[in-house]
Structure 1
Amino acid sequence: MSDSHWSHVYPWQSDLWDSLIKRHQQQGLPHALMLTGVEGIGKHALALETARWLLCTRRIEQHANVACGECHSCRLWQAGNHPDFMECQPEDDSRQIRIDGVRKLNEFLMQTPQISRCQVVSLHPVEVLNGNAANALLKTLEEPPGESFLLLETERLGSVMPTIRSRCQRLTLATPSPQQSLDWMQANGCDPLVAEQALRMNQMAPIAALAWVQQQRHEQHNHWLQQLQQWSNGSLPLDAMVAIWKKDELTGILSWLGQLSADLMRAHMGADHSQLLEPAILGCFDASTLQPAKLIALHDRINSTLGQIQSGASYFNRQLLLESLMIEWQTLVTNPGRD
C-alpha cells in the first residue's frame, strides 16, 4: 500500500480524525465547519485531508476512513488541480480576504460537481474576511447550494464576525501534549533542548515550533535582543536600529516584542529563568527597575497593533511604528543593559 493511502493528518490528530470520519458516516458533517486552535497545530492539514477524503470517489463503497489514493479524484488531488476543490485566502499580497474572492467561491459552489459527489472549499483564515466579503459569504453559509462543504479555519475566534460564527459548527483542535510535541520534533531532527525552547516560543504548537527552528529564529531573536540592548544603552542610534529591523517581517518583530514585554512583567514579579520565554532578557535588562504601568501599556499597544495588522484592518508605516515603539521602550528602561 502506497503512502497516498494513508491519512495525512498529524499523530496528535488521529483520534480527532477518527471521530470526524465516524460522525460523517453516521449523521453527516455540517456544510460549514470552523476549525479553531492556535497557529501551528495542523488546522490546515486537517482541513485539506478532510477535503481529500470527502472528494474521494471510492470512500463510500469501500467504507474507508482514508482517501484511496488511486481513483480519478485522488489522482487529480495529487496533481493539485481538482475541479471540485477551491481554496479561498488572501491574494495579491493583501492581508484580507476581499469580496472578489468570496464571489469566486459563491460562483464555484453554484456549479455542479465535475468528478466527485460534492464540492469542498477551504477558507482561511476566516478572521481576515473584510466586511463586504463576510456579508457576501453569509447567504452561502445560510443556504449552501447542492452537496457542498465549507471548511473554515481561524486562530483568533474572537475576531470572527458573530454572524459568521453562528452559522458554522465549531471543531476545536487542542494543542498536543508537551511529550507528543517533543517526540514529533525529535523525530524531525530537533535537539530536545532546542525543541523545548521552540515550543515555549510558539504556544507549545509543534508545527510552528519546527518552522521556528528551521528558520533559525533563535539566532534572529538573539540579534534583535542585542540590538535592543544597544539602542537602550545608547550605543546604537535609533535610525540604524530601525534600518536593520525594517528588513525583517514586522509581525515577527512585534510578536517577539510582545513576548519580551510579557517576560519582563513576569520577571518584575519574581519569575526565574525557567518561567520565561526569552530567559536571556535577564542578562540584558534589570526587570526590578522597570516601571510596571508603562510596561503594561507598551505590551497592550504592541498586541493591539499586531492584531490590527494580522486582521488586515489597519496599515502602519513600518518605520514610524518601530521608531515610536522604541522611543516608548526607552522611557521605561531606567537601568539599561549591563555588561
Structure 2
Amino acid sequence: MIYPWQQTLWHNWQQLLEQRRLHHAILLLAAKGSGRGVLARQLSKTVLCQNSQVEPCDVCHSCKLFDAENHPDFHVIKPEQDGKQIGVDAVRQCNRWAVETSHLNGQRVILIEHADALGEAGANAILKTLEEPPAGCQFILTAQSLDRLLPTVVSRCNKWRLNPPDEANVKNWVESQLQQSILLESVRLNNGAPLATLAFIESGLDIRYGHLVTAFTAFVQPPHIGIYDVAAMCSADGIVTLQLLSYFLVDCLKWQQGVTQYLVHQESLPAVEAIAATIPTALLLEQIRNINNLHRQLAKHTGLNIELLVVEWLTGFIGK
C-alpha cells in the first residue's frame, strides 16, 4: 500500500500502464524518508501482476511470490553498505538478468535502489542495457536527487520526482500514526520527510535531542560546565546528532542576522535566543564549519572515537 503523498504520482503511472506507454526505464527521484522504496515496489508488483494492468491483484501467483520476497523475475541491486558504491559485478549481474527468459512467462523487473551510488564504472556497464533493454524487461531506478547521477544514466531514463508533502500535512499524518501531537521542529529536522519524522519520534530521538539542546545551551554559558555530558549525549546516537546540532547552530546564526521567519527549531526559540546572545558570530560560523567537517570525517572513517572528537570540538566554545 502506498502513502497518501504518493497518490498523484502513482495515478500518473497507472494511466501510462493502462495505455501501455510506461517507459522501459523509470527514474524515481525522492527524498530519504519519503517511502520511495514502497512506491518503487508497488510499480514493480503491478508490472509483474498476472491479473491486473494498473494495480496489483494480490491473489495471483506472481503477487503472492512478490509478497513472499521470492519472485524469480524481480531483481534488486543496491549498495552493500550506506555510503558505498554499487559494485560493477552487481551491475553486470543486472545485464544478465535483463536477457534471461521470464520464469513466469511475464515481465521481468530490475530495481536499482540508490542509483546515485552507481560509480562511473557501474554506470558505463549498464548504459547499453538501459538504452536498448530486451523485450519484457522493466528497469526502475530510485535516487535522492540528480546531483550524484551521471548524465548518461539520466538521459536514458524517464524522470519522475516525488514532491514532498506540505509540512502541516506531514505533521498531521505522523500524529495520526502515533495518536499523539508532535513538534513542528521534528518535521523540519527531518527535512519534511514523513517516514523519517515518524522513525525519529518512535525511536525517542526527539526526546534525547531535546535534552541535548538543553544541556548544550547550558554548557556554552560560562563557566562551561558539563562538557563530557554533552559529548556523551552527542555521540549516543552516532553522527546523526551532529547533523541535528549543526541545524541548531545555523538557526542561532539566522537569529543573529535577524532572520526569524523560518527556523527549524520552532519550539526551541528560547535556546536559540540564548546561544545567539552568547556566542559571537565569527565563532558561531567557525564552529558550524567545524561540526560539519567533523560529521563528514566520521561518516568517512567509521572507526574513529566520536565522543573524543566531539569533546575537542566543544572546547572551541571555551575561552574565546
Match of 1:4 in 2: none
Change (3 A) 1:334 1:152: farther
**Structure 1 residue corresponding to 2:158, chosen from 169, 177, 199:** 169
Distance 1:237 1:302 in 2: 15
What value does the CA root-mean-square deviation take over the aligned residues? 3.1
Q: Which moved more, 1:76-85 or 1:326-335?
A: 326-335
Change (3 A) 1:247 1:186: closer
Match of 2:26 in 1: 33
Distance 1:305 1:131 in 2: 27
Query: For 1:255, what is the secondary structure of its paired residue?
Result: helix
Contact 1:202 1:209 in 2 (8 A): yes
Match of 2:96 in 1: 107
Change (3 A) 1:268 1:118: same
Contact 2:108 2:137 in 1 (8 A): yes
Match of 1:160 in 2: 149
Match of 1:9 in 2: 2
Match of 1:268 in 2: 256
Change (3 A) 1:276 1:334: farther
Distance 1:305 1:34 in 2: 33
Residue 318, structure 1, aligned to residue 308, structure 2: no
User: What is the identity, as a one-letter code, of the residue corresponding to 1:211?
Assistant: A
Percent identical across equivalent pairs?
Answer: 26
Distance 2:193 2:271 in 1: 27
Q: 1:84 offset after TM fit, Å? A: 0.7
Q: 1:215 offset after TM fit, Å? A: 0.8
Distance 2:27 2:297 in 1: 22
How many residues matched?
A: 317
Match of 1:205 in 2: 193
**Structure 2 residue corresponding to 1:56, chosen from 29, 38, 49:** 49
Distance 1:278 1:235 in 2: 26
Q: 1:76 offset after TM fit, Å? A: 0.6
Q: Which moved more, 1:278-287 or 1:204-213?
A: 278-287
Residue 235, structure 1, aligned to residue 225, structure 2: yes
Q: 1:136 offset after TM fit, Å? A: 2.1
User: What is the identity, as a one-letter code, of the residue corresponding to 1:82?
Assistant: H
**Structure 2 residue corresponding to 1:187, chosen from 176, 182, 195:** 176
Query: For 1:171, what is the secondary structure of its paired residue?
Result: strand
TM-score scaled to structure 2, two decimals? 0.84
User: What is the identity, as a one-letter code, of the residue corresponding to 2:188?
Assistant: R
Q: 1:188 offset after TM fit, Å? A: 0.9
Distance 1:302 1:150 in 2: 39
**Structure 2 residue corresponding to 1:117, chosen from 97, 106, 112:** 106
> For each residue in 1:258-289, what CA deviation from the matched residue of structure 2 results, as whole angstroms up to 9, or x when unmatched?
31222121222235597342653743743134
Change (3 A) 1:333 1:288: farther
Contact 1:120 1:149 in 2 (8 A): yes
Distance 2:286 2:23 in 1: 43
Match of 2:247 in 1: 259
Contact 2:246 2:292 in 1 (8 A): yes
Query: For 2:111, what is the secondary structure of its paired residue?
Result: strand
Q: 1:174 offset after TM fit, Å? A: 0.7
Match of 1:280 in 2: 268
Contact 2:99 2:134 in 1 (8 A): yes
Match of 1:47 in 2: 40
Distance 1:156 1:258 in 2: 22
TM-score scaled to structure 1, two decimals? 0.80
**Structure 2 residue corresponding to 1:67, chosen from 56, 73, 77:** 56
